[in-house]
Amino acid sequence: MRRLIARVVMTVIVAIAVLTSGTAAQAAVPASPAVTFTNPIAQQRADPHIYKHTDGYYYFTATVPAYDKIVMRRSTSLQGLSTAPETTIWTKHASGDMAAHIWAPEIHFINGKWYVYFAAGTSSDIWKIRMYVLESSAANPLSGGWAEKGRIATPLDTFSLDATTFTVGSTRYLSWAQNDPAVGSGTNLYLARMSSPWAITGAPVMISKPTHAWETVGHRVNEGPAVIQRNGKVFMSYSASATDSNYCLGLLTASASADLLNPGSWAKTPNPVFTSNTATGQYGPGHNTFTVSPDGKSDILVYHDRNYKDISGDPLNDPNRRTRYQKLYWNADGTPNFGIPVADGLTPVRFSSYNNPDRFIRHWEFRAKTEANVTTLADSQFRVVPGLAGSGTVSLESANFPGYYLRHKNFEVWVEKNDGTAAFKSDAAFFQRAGLSDTAGVSFESYNYPGRYVRHADYLLYVQAVSTTAARGDATFYAE
């Protein structure tokens, strides 16, 4: 009888272990899986805006170099926008209002109709920039007619641009950039409630002005507001400084339950959250918007930049701002992590641990390890590129040290610069396999030491044989 009871108990323990193991594997699968793009998306398209509609299409508009029209394209995929045909939906007036400097169009769908917000100057004064609205009732805004709803009137009749709209709860807001002579030169960010898609109501409030050194290089600038909401917080990114390599993104944060028309509800992050990066060759990232992946599980950062630093003459006359994408990540404290503007080409991903879901592969002083809450995001991002050794392999290139790869030496995994030798290429090449502990994950088998896999032990990465259940778990990762 004792033996029978022991067998029953053991059977129950094994069953519980199996169920628990399966649950852990599922729990480790990231809620926001990897999503990759190939940059740039659109040459000579600045101030990009993308709207994902319920019809399954993404709608994309942006500033064109001639500043003379509004163009639009659509695709069922974000990458597809790079090759989608483009349609001119509206052209500037020959004279009078809306006759010059057609800037920063945004497309929104409100109460069953399409609206485009944009800025424009007049023929008599091309710098008399004001905000205007177009409306269309067509199902497809690329083929429908557009009615001019006129100028968005604000109490100050001054330089104003970059209107965007969003809702928090049941309230629709308009945010924009405008000059107030009483404040000084440059532009500040304003917020107001809307009474219709083309009009504000009540007194606008200034929620930010350029005060930090990084907001005032070349010009005093807060402009291009864009909003994303998550877990009861409202995050507003904005662009700062002149539109050259000093252009960058700042961030304001408010509680969704706060009075957003109280400037005190908004906190400004003291440092820029997205800046030029010499290593990746990206300069002046800014005027962003946010969208989501087709499955709705990943937030996507959309922005423009240039791939060179030095500009001859006025940056506004340089046509080569390009539209780009990359995944937006979130820190453990619930704040967005923009990372760095990644190199042209395939965007990088992160790899979380199967058995330590809060830990990611990252490099620290070039040693590869797993670590939680990696706020220096690019340390934990790698491009999965064709293997340096060929033969169906892949190599993992560092996002913030292009040309540096994960490689093993003495079976320890490091991030090192490709020296071009056959030995390095072999050490930095892996066969990408289905996850050893969960086929939804991924494992990396050494090219030159078959049977050995990248795995963590005491949070450091090694290339080792994996013969136990625990070791297979250590060698399984999820792409995020």
Q: What is the pLDDT of residues 173-224, one digit of tens each?
A: 999 999 999 999 999 999 999 999 999 999 999 999 999 999 999 999 999 9
Residue 323's nearest CA partner among 42, 38, 37 is 42
Cβ–Cβ < 8 Å for 50, 41: no
Active site residue: 47, 162, 180, 480, which one?
A: 47
Global pTM reads 0.93
Contacts with 452 (C-beta within 8 Å, 6 or more apart), sequence order: 411, 445, 446, 463, 464, 465, 466
Beta bridge partners of 119: 103, 131
84, 174, 230, 334 from 255: Cα distances, Å: 38, 17, 10, 12
Per-residue pLDDT, 29 = 82
Say which DSSP state 275 is in: -
Look up 314 and say whether it is catalytic.
no
Contacts for 183 with CB less than 8 Å, ≥ 6 apart: 206, 209
Q: What is the per-residue pLDDT across 69-110, written as a single tens digit (0 to 9) for each?
A: 999 999 999 999 999 999 999 999 999 999 999 999 999 999
Catalytic status, residue 427 = no
Helix/strand/coil for 384 = strand
Distance CA(130)–CA(122), nearest Å, equals: 9
Mean pLDDT of the region 420-425: 98
For residue 28, name the pLDDT band (cuts at 50, 70, 90).
low
Query: Closest by alpha carbon to 164, among 104, 86, 205?
Result: 104
Q: Is the pLDDT of residue 25 over 50?
A: no
pLDDT in tens, 346-372: 999 999 999 999 999 999 999 999 999
How would you list the strands of the sheet with 283-292, edge to edge? Answer: 283-292, 299-306, 322-330, 336-337
Which three-class secondary structure string do you get for 121-155? ECCCCCCCCEEEEEEECCCCCCCCCCEEEEECCCC
Q: Which long-range contacts (CB under 8 A, 24 or more apart) does 404-409 make?
A: 404/366, 406/361, 406/368, 406/382, 406/454, 406/461, 408/446, 408/449, 408/454, 408/462, 408/463
CA separation (Å) from 232 to 153, 193, 258, 350? 31, 19, 10, 26
| Selection from 348, 197, 198 nearest residue 280 by Cα | 348
Q: What is the pLDDT of residues 103-156, one digit of tens each?
A: 999 999 999 999 999 999 999 999 999 999 999 999 999 998 999 999 999 999
Q: What is the mean pLDDT of the chain?
A: 94
> Which of the residues 97, 162, 215, 223 is marked catalytic?
223
Give the residue, 46 or 20, on which the prediction is more confident.
46
pLDDT tier at 11, thresholds 50, 70, 90: very low
E strand or H helix at 12: helix 2-28
Amino acid at position 378, single letter: A
What distance in Å separates the CA atoms of residue 42 and residue 398, rounded to the nearest whole number? Answer: 25
Length of the chain: 480
CB burial of 31-40 (b: ≥16 within 10 Å; e: otherwise) equals ebebbebebb
- 345-346 and 38-39 strand pairing: antiparallel
Return the number of other C-beta atoms located less than 10 Å from residue 151's C-beta. 17
Farthest CA pair distance, the chain:
101
**Residue 470 in 3-state DSSP?**
helix
Of the candidates 198, 41, 216, the one whose C-alpha atom is nearest the C-alpha of residue 134 is 198
Q: Give CA–CA dist 185/465, Å, rounded.
A: 64
Q: 265: helix, coil or strand? A: helix
In this predicted structure, the answer to whether residue 38 has a pLDDT above a threshold of 70 is yes
